[in-house]
Chains A and B, each alone.
Chain A
Amino acid sequence: DVKVTQSSRYLVKRTGEKVFLECVQDMDHENMFWYRQDPGLGLRLIYFSYDVKMKEKGDIPEGYSVSREKKERFSLILESASTNQTSMYLCASSPMTGSGRNQPQHFGDGTRLSIL
């Protein structure tokens, strides 16, 4: 089974702090994704990556950056945390679509981030 591991389930930080959310997958997937989930808004894509050192902006990239130095690890960075970034953050991975066109994304357990 695919395992997507997020480093923290709960995290509390202060405004202005630089925050790192880590995600690791063990299935050699090319694609990795970061979403935030808010009540009534569903999941919204922040950033995704389809290869090491490659990244693309999703629908709501403002205030975030990402890093993918190794294939299995995809980090989300809040450069200067603000209270409106309090949310649930979900990481996901999937194989490159050419190798399995209907392959679903596999999700981690999520990180509940609170910015005080």
Chain B
Amino acid sequence: AQTVTQSQPEMSVQEAETVTLSCTYDTSESDYYLFWYKQPPSRQMILVIRQEAYKQQNATENRFSVNFQKAAKSFSLKISDSQLGDAAMYFCAYRRGQTGANSKLTFGKGITLSVRP
């Protein structure tokens, strides 16, 4: 079974600084997808960024980028120029790549990020 580990329960960053959230996963599959989701205090879970395992290039979305190390099974999220609105809980998630019904996500336990003004 696949597992996703987020070992840091909490992190803090100064506004305008850069922070990296770590995530590791365990799988025997070669085809899969990885996601980072953000859950602000308002509670709705929203997608931050996604990465296909077959792509070597790290995904980037504005101030958010990932460091995807497939051999090490590591998928960290870097937030540049941190803003107060980035304060939230962040979840790393894994999904197998097969087509069909098996589109379940496996989530890590999450990390709470606080941003200091």
Minimum CB–CB distance from B51 to chain A (whole Å) comes to 9
B104 touches A102 (CB 8 A): no
Minimum CB–CB distance from B1 to chain A (whole Å) comes to 9
B97 touches A101 (CB 8 A): yes
Q: Which residues of A contact B64 (CB under 8 A)?
A: none
Minimum CB–CB distance from B105 to chain A (whole Å) comes to 6
Interface residues in chain B, defined as those with a beta carbon under 8 Å from any beta carbon in chain A: 6, 9, 33, 35, 37, 42-47, 50, 52, 91, 97-105, 107-110
9 A-B contact pairs sorted by A residue (CB < 8 Å): A33-B104, A42-B109, A43-B107, A96-B101, A97-B101, A102-B33, A102-B52, A104-B35, A104-B50
Chain B, interface SS category: loop
A101 touches B101 (CB 8 A): no
B45 touches A94 (CB 8 A): no
Q: Rank and list the top 4 A-B pairs by shortest CB-CB distance, nearest first.
A: A50-B101, A107-B45, A98-B99, A42-B109
B46 touches A107 (CB 8 A): yes
Given pairs A31-B103, A43-B105, A104-B35, 20 additional interface contacts (CB within 8 A): A40-B9, A42-B91, A42-B109, A43-B91, A43-B107, A48-B104, A50-B100, A92-B45, A96-B99, A96-B101, A97-B97, A97-B100, A97-B103, A98-B99, A104-B37, A105-B105, A107-B44, A109-B42, A110-B43, A110-B44
Neighbour of B109 across the interface among A31, A41, A110, CB < 8 A? A41
Neighbour of A58 across the interface among B99, B103, B104, B110, CB < 8 A? B104
Nearest A residue (CB) for B43: A110
Interface residues in chain A, defined as those with a beta carbon under 8 Å from any beta carbon in chain B: 31, 33, 35, 40-45, 48, 50-51, 54, 56, 58, 88, 90, 92, 94, 96-98, 101-102, 104-105, 107-110
Minimum CB–CB distance from A44 to chain B (whole Å) comes to 8
Minimum CB–CB distance from A67 to chain B (whole Å) comes to 18
Q: Which residues of A contact B109 (CB under 8 A)?
A: 40-42
A101 touches B43 (CB 8 A): no
Q: Which residues of A contact B98 (CB under 8 A)?
A: 97
